[in-house]
Amino acid sequence: MKALAAALIVVAAGAAAAALPDSRLVEEGRRVYNFRCYYCHGYSGDARTVAAAMLPVRPRAFVEFSAEEMPPLRIEMAVRHGLPGSPMKSFAGALSAREIAAVVAFVHDEFVVRRASNTRYHTPENGWPDHERYSAAFPFARGSIPLDAPEGSLGARERAGRRLFVTTCITCHDGAAVRDAGPAWERAASR
């Protein structure tokens, strides 16, 4: 047990040393990404955006790639040269060398290596000073509770969260999960 713990520490230290990202560069890259890349690739790198749904070739979620499959060089090649015959165009003319290095470091560190579920969007800097007060609606925004969950399956807080979501959040969060097992009368009839 002790030996295992020691081995794990060595492995973790090795991984950290091998891929220690320059955090300032990564944060610069986050800004580039949130301006240039998010609308096709998603704030969370999951490609669940309205634009992605309309593209002839859909971007894949960055988290689907292993670190071996998607090394920084592959990301850099895509950003510099684009991918022929796809909506992924070259950014060589639009971004400086520093910005390219930054966005490559960000995509690699945030999505491919750390598999961070998202870039926080509702932050004070982004104009959302106290978003936590809407937390009752978060499960509906994240899709963890389907919008059409039966009334009786929800507690009072969840019902309030759903009302808030439908009135205030759905304009942007149109991808919320809906589980529809057919009209209620049909379900009743099949019983």
In the complex, the residues that contact ligand HEC under the rule CB under 6 A are 36-37, 40-44, 55, 57-59, 74-75, 78-79, 83, 86-88, 91, 103, 107, 118, 120-122, 134, 137-138, 141-142, 164, 168-169, 171-173
CB of 149 to ligand HEC, least distance (A): 16
Chain centroid offset of residue 161 CA: 22
Closer residue to ligand HEC in complex, CB, 171/190 = 171
On whether the CB atoms of residues 136 and 158 are closer than 8 A, the answer is yes
On whether the CB atoms of residues 182 and 157 are closer than 8 A, the answer is no
Compute the distance between CA of residue 51 and CA of residue 120 in angstroms, rounded to an integer.
20
Closer residue to ligand HEC in complex, CB, 8/160 = 160
Compute the distance between CA of residue 90 and CA of residue 40 in angstroms, rounded to an integer.
14
Closer residue to ligand HEC in complex, CB, 157/187 = 157
Cβ burial of 54 (10 Å; 0-12, 13-18, 19+) is exposed
CB of 68 to ligand HEC, least distance (A): 13
Structure tokens at 7: 């081995």
Closer residue to ligand HEC in complex, CB, 16/123 = 123
Closer residue to ligand HEC in complex, CB, 13/116 = 116
CB of 101 to ligand HEC, least distance (A): 11
Structure tokens at 142: 């994240």
